[in-house]
Structure 1
Amino acid sequence: MSNSRDLTQGAVWRKLLQLAGPMMFGIIAVISVSLVDTYYVGRLGTEQLTALSFTFPVTMTVSSLAIGLGAGASSVVSRAVGSDDTDHARRLATDSLALALIIVSLVAVAGYFSIDFLFGLLGAQGEILDLITRYMQIWFLAIPFLVVPIVANAIVRATGDAFWPSVVMVGSALTNIAITPVFVFGLGPVPAFGIEGAAIGTLVAWLVTVVGAFLLVGWREQMIDMSVPEIGTLMTSWKRVLGVGIPAAIGNASNPVGIAVVTSILAGFGSVVVAGFGVATRIESLSVIPMLALSSAIGPFSGQNWGAGKCGRVKEALRVSYAVCGVWAVVLGLFFWVAAEPIVRIFSQETEVVQAAVTYLTIVPLSLWGYGAVIVTAGAFNALGRSHYGLGIYMVRIAALYIPASYIASLFFAQSDGVFYAIAGANALAGVCVMAFALHWLSANDDKAGAKVPA
């Protein structure tokens, strides 16, 4: 392994920056897909924007499955790399990709045939449900072209290289930005597809991702083992990946599921509040990019160092990450206090939608340090092979705090503002609990670092 990819040596903050820096651009690229769809669909009308807001929790939940599988692959591969077991790392990488393809194909088929039922549960009906169906039919057909490359990119990052996976993600995003308005509004011989055009643009962009990701993992990194494994070896690899991947996927899905539940709660305040909440959460997803980059960086860093027996470096990485999350949340709070309204008006001009989104963005962002602490800590524990702790960390925020607080607030407050304050309180309390637990656990388990895969 080259010195630049060896995450077990050198200043911790510098290694985190080496991973998180490129990932910021890659995550911006991924999130821009949602923002581009929101921007152009918002130009079609409030009903179309409301329909897209309903899809956001579901699309994020399915995407979380990919992130979870990627976390599982990254966890086992990075620990194998950290313990200098290159052949094993290659076998695990290959088996992870095969597993991802099988699982996402099943999810795509199930999702395609359950659109009406699923979104009916969320409260969508009438013309809005029809718009959702038209969008999601294409989206479910496209999702395999995103999930498998996410896992492939996670494997490459596990080797210590975050730059080229980010290049692939940026290329895909630029493609999406260029072609989505063509399919939404039409151009020349291309007809205007409306809301379906946003899904078509996403499909084409993800095809770019497939090509780039496989060139990286197969050709540049040579992490594909073309030999046919024994059934026992394959089952062992899948068990190890799923041992991390399933809890990680559930944990990652908890945030969009929480948003879905809160969307249903907010539906009681009217469709314009739902639309405003959808716009605000998309803007929020872009604003937390440094935290998301850290949560991506902490995985390969923690995996390699844990595999090399260096628990102290994992603990130091968490402390650095918590500090960054705190500073960034203060920056966000001040920024949105001044700039929330002009930013929201980029996506919608309807007064009530703007009001709901601006209210959210002036209340919640200051508390996002707690959300950052949750995702960074969960990412670290997933990489250590302790994904049950990672899942528990997510559940503390969503199941124990975020959803109950939002529901209770909806009962006692006549306006949606009360729900937004409840969300902020849930974020802050979760952050305090998670940071205390993580640092204590690492101090108490220093002697367990260095175990070979499986952990």
Structure 2
Amino acid sequence: MIFGIGAVMSVQVVDTFFVGQLGTDPLAALSFSFPVALTLASVSIGLSAGAASLVSRAIGRGDRDRTRQLASDSLLLTLAVVLVLTTAGLLTLEAVLGLLGASGEILDMAMRYSRIWYLSLPFLIVTMVCNAMTRAGGDAFWPSTIMVSSALLNVIATPILVFGIGVIPSLGIEGAALATLMARVISSLMALYLVIGRDRLVVLAWRDLRRFTRSARRVLGIGIPAAVGNASNPLGMAIATAVIAVLGSETVAGFGVATRLEAFAILPMLALSASIGPVVGQNWGSARADRVALAMKTAFGFCAGWALVLALFFWAFGQPIAALFSAEASVTEQAARYLWIVPISLWGYGIAIIAAGAFNALGKPLIALGYSLTRTAVFYVPLVWIASRLDGATTVYGAIAVANALAGILVAIDSLYRVRKLARA
């Protein structure tokens, strides 16, 4: 899962790298698009969490027929939801980007990129849900292989479409979005083959409406809180972007570079939040609460160690790495400043997302949502807003670090207590 999620995150890093060569304004346009893209991608994570939770517990109970029913209904529900999301997103795109602070030529570029990105959204969500169901059965290799293959295609196609080669014209920022679309179409076809052709998890047959409705309610009962929880981080980032926007396009571009690098740097913690679901779900279905608690403690400990590694790395190399993504010294300075302050606190963010993933797998989505909102709504957004009123970007970055740390402490204590309590019940 580290390799697979790393491949997914590389799409944003690759786009940032090549679009950054076009200038500060295109990079700022991409930065405004990033929170929108992450927010909607969170829906795919929510749906996949709901499907994987139900499927993994059914597998743990050894109920093969129920497993197929839940998997098939989950995929059908996914197709219905993605149609609504894509349509609504395209209709509200300009208004949303405007609310984030994009205007003028930057708004125009952000819209051109985002329109194509929206067309790739259905393929992203289908891939995520299919891969989650495959992992729920214990196979993380092929879902990760699909994600790596998709990322490699994106790496090859992005510079060709952005800058042009031979008879292929230079498409600029739109070329980056088109490369993403191509990669996601292919990955969705591969993921569908796994659940339909290889594993026979999904059965293509007429669905009984009442049975489908019951399954959909169960998936959405976990999926909606999970989607809201996962969306809380990019929404918080969007608020921070809007706050920082008043400081100029260089600051927005630097913040965008730093947050993309951060998203790539925390991929081991993202991988743990994805892979802990099947472990927790199957063991809970088999009445092994002791293994659930051990998995969570081990994952929390890893987060602390990894955050220290990240802090040391970015203290030493943050500025030269940021310089690779922009030729503007002011943009590099802003990105480096973020990378010097925030990474040491990322253990708190890791604990929050891992605990949320575990409790989604336990069928306790509201508790999982509470952990996500503890970081974003209780600490991140209020502290960023207060910091923005006191000083500039540096103070905002310090507020983000404090929010991560406070959330991590509270979530770690509460989640382990709740697992022990559920086990006794």
TM tier, shorter chain? over 0.9
What does 1:433-452 align with in structure 2 at a 5 Å threshold? 433-448=410-425
Q: Please name the residue that 1:372 is paired with.
A: 350
The aligned length equals: 425
How far apart, in 2, do the equivalents of 1:262 and 1:213 lie? Answer: 35
Is 1:432 equivalent to 2:409 in the alignment? yes
With the length of structure 2 as denominator, give the TM-score of the two structures: 0.99
Verify: 1:78 aligned to 2:56, yes or no. Answer: yes
How far apart are residue 138 of structure 1 and its match? 0.9
Report the 3-state secondary structure (helix = DSSP H, G, I; strand = E; otherwise coil) of the residue aligned with 1:411: helix
Q: Which 10-residue stretch deviates more, 418-427 or 269-278?
A: 269-278
Q: Is this contact kept in 2: 1:171–1:208, CA < 8 A? A: no
Measured in 2, the distance between the counterparts of 1:341 and 1:76 equals 44
SS in 2 for 1:269: coil
Inter-partner Cα distance in structure 2 for 1:141 and 1:291: 29
Counterpart in the other structure of 1:91: 69
- Return the match for 2:295 from 301, 308, 317: 317
Task: Please give the alpha-carbon distance, in whole angstroms, between the structure 2 residues aligned to 1:188 and 1:432.
Answer: 55
Aligned equivalent of 2:376:
398
Contact 2:348 2:404 in 1 (8 A): yes
Letter in 1 for 2:3: F
Find the residue that maps to 1:44 and give its secondary structure.
Answer: coil
Identify the residue that residue 261 of structure 1 maps to in structure 2: 239
Cross-structure match for 1:272: 250
Cα distance in structure 1, aligned partners of 2:358 and 2:402:
24
Aligned residue number for residue 168 of structure 1: 146
Map of 1:4 onto structure 2: none
CA–CA distance in structure 1, aligned partners of residues 396 and 159 of structure 2: 34
Counterpart code for 1:55: S
Of residues 360-369 and 183-192 in structure 1, the stretch that sits farther from structure 2 once superposed is: 183-192
1:159 aligns with 2:134: no
1:144-293 equivalent positions in 2, closer than 5 A: 144-293=122-271
Q: State the 1:444 CA deviation.
A: 1.1
| Residue of structure 1 equivalent to 2:7 | 29
1:28-60 Cα shifts (integer Å, max 9, x gaps): 110011111101100111000000000000000
TM-score using structure 1 length: 0.93
Alignment of 1:60 onto 2:38:
yes
Give me the whole-angstrom Cα distance separating, in 2, the residues matched to 1:376 and 1:397. Answer: 13
TM-fit CA distance, 1:227: 2.8
CA positional deviation for 1:225: 1.7
1:112 to 87, 90, 102: 90
Aligned partners of 1:227, 1:98: CA distance in 2, in Å?
A: 11
Equivalent residues in 2 for 1:321-400, closer than 5 Å: 321-400=299-378
SS of the residue aligned with 1:395?
A: helix
Who is 1:13 aligned against?
none
Is the aligned partner of 1:417 residue 2:417? Answer: no
**SS of the counterpart of 1:100?**
helix
Q: Secondary structure at the match of 1:38?
A: helix
User: Quick one: which amino acid aligns to residue 137 of structure 2?
Assistant: T
**Contact 1:41-1:49 within 8 A present in 2 as well:** yes
**Whole-Å separation in 2 of the counterparts to 1:220 and 1:346:** 42
- Tell me how far apart the structure 1 counterparts of residues 55 and 247 of structure 2 sit (CA, whole Å): 47
What SS does the aligned partner of 2:246 have?
Answer: helix
Task: Out of 395-404 and 217-226, give the one that drifted further.
Answer: 217-226
Secondary structure of 2:396's match?
helix
RMSD: 0.8
Structure 1, residues 246-270: CA drift from partner, whole Å, max 9, x if none? Answer: 0000000000000000000111222
Runs of 5+ in structure 1 lacking a partner? 1-22, 449-455
Return the letter of the residue paired with 2:105.
E
- Once the two structures are TM-superposed, the CA of residue 208 in structure 1 deviates from its matched residue by 1.3
Render the CA deviation track for 1:395-426: whole Å, top value 9, x for unaligned.
0100010010001001111x210000000000
Structure 1 position 447, deviation (Å): 3.9
Aligned residues of 1:370 and 1:427 also touching (Cα < 8 A): yes
Task: Report the Cα distance in structure 1 between the residues aligned to 2:137 and 2:424, rounded to whole angstroms.
Answer: 24
Using the alignment, how far apart are the partners of 2:264 and 2:66 within structure 1? 36
Query: For 1:152-206, what per-residue CA distance to the aligned partner results, in whole angstroms no more than 9, with x for missing partners?
Result: 0000000011011000010100000001111111111111111100000000000
SS of equivalent to 1:114? helix
Residue 280 of structure 2 is aligned to residue 306 of structure 1: no
Q: Which 5+ residue runs of structure 2 have no aligned equivalent?
A: none
Given that residues 24 and 249 in structure 2 are in contact (C-alpha distance below 8 angstroms), is that contact kept between their aligned partners in structure 1? no
CA contact (8 A) 2:228 2:369 kept: yes
Give the superposition deviation at 1:226. 2.4
Give the equivalent residue in structure 2 for 1:100. Answer: 78
* Residue of structure 1 in register with 2:102 after alignment: 124
One-letter amino acid of the counterpart of residue 139, structure 2: D
- Measured in 1, the distance between the counterparts of 2:240 and 2:121 equals 25
Give 1:229 deviation, angstroms. 2.5
Percent sequence identity over matched residues?
Answer: 50
In 1, the alpha carbon distance for the partners of 2:323 and 2:65 equals 53
For residues 5-33 of structure 1, the C-alpha deviation after alignment (integer angstroms, 9 at most, x for no partner) is xxxxxxxxxxxxxxxxxx00000110011
Which residue identity is paired with 1:96? Answer: S
* Secondary structure of the corresponding residue to residue 59 of structure 2: helix
SS at match of 1:160: coil
